Chains A and B, each alone.
Chain A
Amino acid sequence: MVQVAQPQASSYRRPGRVRSRLVRRVPREILLNAVGILVIGTLIFPVYWALCVALQSDPDALIKAPSLFPVHLVLSNFQTALNTEGGNILTSLIISVAVVALGLLVGVPAAYALRRFRVRYTGAVIGSLLVTQMVPSIALSIAFYSLFKDAHLLNSYVGLILADSTYAVPLMVLLLRAFLESLPGELMESARVDGCSELRCLISVVVPVAIPGIVTASLFGFLGAWGDFLFGLTLNSGGKVQPVTLGLFKFVGTYSTSWGPLMATVILAAIPAAIVLSVGQRWIRGGLRAGALKG
Chain B
Amino acid sequence: MSVRDRGGVRSLDRAGVEGDDPSSVGASTKANRRWPGRGGRERLAPGAVPAPAGARRQRLSRRIIVPGLFIAPVVVYAVVFFAYPLVFGFMMSFEKFGFSQLVHGSGPFFGIGNYRAALSDPVTITAIRNTVIFTVASVSLQVGIGLAVAVLLNRPFLLSNLLRRLVLIPWLIPLLATGTVFTLLFGDQDGFINMLLQHLGLISSPIAWLIDARPAIIAIIIVNIWAGLPFNVIVLYSGLQDIDGIFYEAAVIDGAGPWQRFRKITLPMLRPVMLIVVMLGIIATVKVFDLVIVMTNGGPNNTTQLLSTWAYTQAFTNFNFGEGAAIGNILLVVSAIIAVFYLRSLRKEA
Query: A residues within 8 Å of B by Cβ?
Result: 1, 3-6, 8-9, 29, 32-33, 35-37, 39-40, 42-44, 46-47, 49-50, 53, 63-64, 66, 105-107, 109-110, 112-114, 116-121, 125, 128-129, 132-147, 149-150, 162, 165-166, 169-170, 173, 185-186, 189, 192-193, 195, 198, 223, 226-230, 233-234, 244-245, 248-249, 252, 259, 262-263, 265-266, 269-270, 273-274, 277, 281, 285, 288-289, 292-293, 295
Contact across chains for A195 and B41 when beta carbons are under 8 A apart: yes
CA distance A128 to B79 in the complex (A): 10
Interface membership of B46, Cβ < 8 A: no
Interface membership of B190, Cβ < 8 A: yes
User: Among B67, B75, B190, B273, which residue has its beta carbon within 8 angstroms of that of A117?
Assistant: B67
Contact across chains for B102 and A248 when beta carbons are under 8 A apart: no
Contact across chains for B78 and A149 when beta carbons are under 8 A apart: no
With a cutoff of 8 Å between Cβ atoms, the chain A residues found around residue B229 in the complex are: 43
Expressed in whole angstroms, the minimum distance between the Cβ of B230 and any Cβ of chain A is 8
Contact across chains for B63 and A245 when beta carbons are under 8 A apart: no
With a cutoff of 8 Å between Cβ atoms, the chain A residues found around residue B167 in the complex are: 39-40, 43
Contact across chains for A6 and B324 when beta carbons are under 8 A apart: no
With a cutoff of 8 Å between Cβ atoms, the chain A residues found around residue B248 in the complex are: 4, 6
Expressed in whole angstroms, the minimum distance between the Cβ of B208 and any Cβ of chain A is 16
> Of B13-21, B49-57, B173-181, which binds chain A?
B173-181
Contact across chains for A66 and B192 when beta carbons are under 8 A apart: yes
Contact across chains for B184 and A189 when beta carbons are under 8 A apart: no
Q: Which residue of chain A is the closest to B308 with respect to CB atoms?
A: A138
Contact across chains for B325 and A162 when beta carbons are under 8 A apart: no
Expressed in whole angstroms, the minimum distance between the Cβ of B197 and any Cβ of chain A is 13
With a cutoff of 8 Å between Cβ atoms, the chain A residues found around residue B105 in the complex are: 146-147, 149-150
User: Among B35, B85, B316, B329, which residue has its beta carbon within 8 angstroms of that of A234?
Assistant: B316
Expressed in whole angstroms, the minimum distance between the Cβ of B110 and any Cβ of chain A is 15
CA distance A128 to B73 in the complex (A): 14
Contact A106/B74 with A119-B67, A189-B37, A234-B312 known, Cβ cut-off 8 Å: yes
Query: B residues within 8 Å of A by Cβ?
Result: 1, 24, 26-27, 30-31, 34-35, 37-38, 40-41, 63-64, 66-67, 69-71, 73-75, 77-78, 81-82, 85-86, 88-89, 92, 97, 102, 105, 149, 152, 155-160, 162-163, 165-178, 180-185, 187, 190-192, 195, 226, 229-230, 234-235, 238-239, 242, 245, 248-249, 252, 258, 261, 272-273, 276, 280, 283, 286-287, 289-290, 293-294, 307-308, 311-312, 315-316, 321, 324-325, 328-329, 331-332, 335-336, 339
CA distance A147 to B82 in the complex (A): 13
CA distance A9 to B251 in the complex (A): 12
With a cutoff of 8 Å between Cβ atoms, the chain B residues found around residue A33 in the complex are: 157-159
With a cutoff of 8 Å between Cβ atoms, the chain A residues found around residue B26 in the complex are: 120
CA distance A99 to B8 in the complex (A): 46
Please list 29 pairs of residues, one from A and one from B, whose beta carbons are closer than 8 Å in the complex, sorted by A's number.
Answer: A3-B155, A32-B157, A32-B160, A66-B195, A109-B73, A110-B70, A113-B66, A113-B67, A117-B63, A117-B67, A128-B78, A129-B78, A133-B280, A138-B331, A142-B89, A142-B324, A146-B92, A165-B81, A192-B40, A193-B1, A195-B40, A223-B172, A229-B175, A233-B293, A234-B312, A262-B180, A263-B181, A288-B234, A292-B238
Expressed in whole angstroms, the minimum distance between the Cβ of B81 and any Cβ of chain A is 5
Contact A64/B176 with A36-B163, A46-B185, A198-B66 known, Cβ cut-off 8 Å: no
Inter-chain contact total with CB atoms closer than 8 Å:
309
Expressed in whole angstroms, the minimum distance between the Cβ of B157 and any Cβ of chain A is 4
Expressed in whole angstroms, the minimum distance between the Cβ of A278 and any Cβ of chain B is 9
Chain B CB within 10 Å, residue with most, of A146, A162, A165, A292 = A146
CA distance A78 to B141 in the complex (A): 35
Expressed in whole angstroms, the minimum distance between the Cβ of A190 and any Cβ of chain B is 8
CA distance A68 to B297 in the complex (A): 30
With a cutoff of 8 Å between Cβ atoms, the chain A residues found around residue B238 in the complex are: 285, 288-289, 292-293
With a cutoff of 8 Å between Cβ atoms, the chain A residues found around residue B331 in the complex are: 136, 138-139
CA distance A6 to B165 in the complex (A): 23
With a cutoff of 8 Å between Cβ atoms, the chain A residues found around residue B89 in the complex are: 139-140, 142-143
CA distance A165 to B82 in the complex (A): 11
Contact across chains for B312 and A119 when beta carbons are under 8 A apart: no
Q: Which residue of chain B is the closest to A262 with respect to CB atoms?
A: B180
Contact across chains for A49 and B73 when beta carbons are under 8 A apart: no
CA distance A136 to B78 in the complex (A): 14
Contact A36/B40 with A149-B102, A223-B171 known, Cβ cut-off 8 Å: no
Contact across chains for B287 and A50 when beta carbons are under 8 A apart: no
Contact across chains for A125 and B71 when beta carbons are under 8 A apart: yes
Expressed in whole angstroms, the minimum distance between the Cβ of B343 and any Cβ of chain A is 13
Expressed in whole angstroms, the minimum distance between the Cβ of A284 and any Cβ of chain B is 8
Expressed in whole angstroms, the minimum distance between the Cβ of B13 and any Cβ of chain A is 13
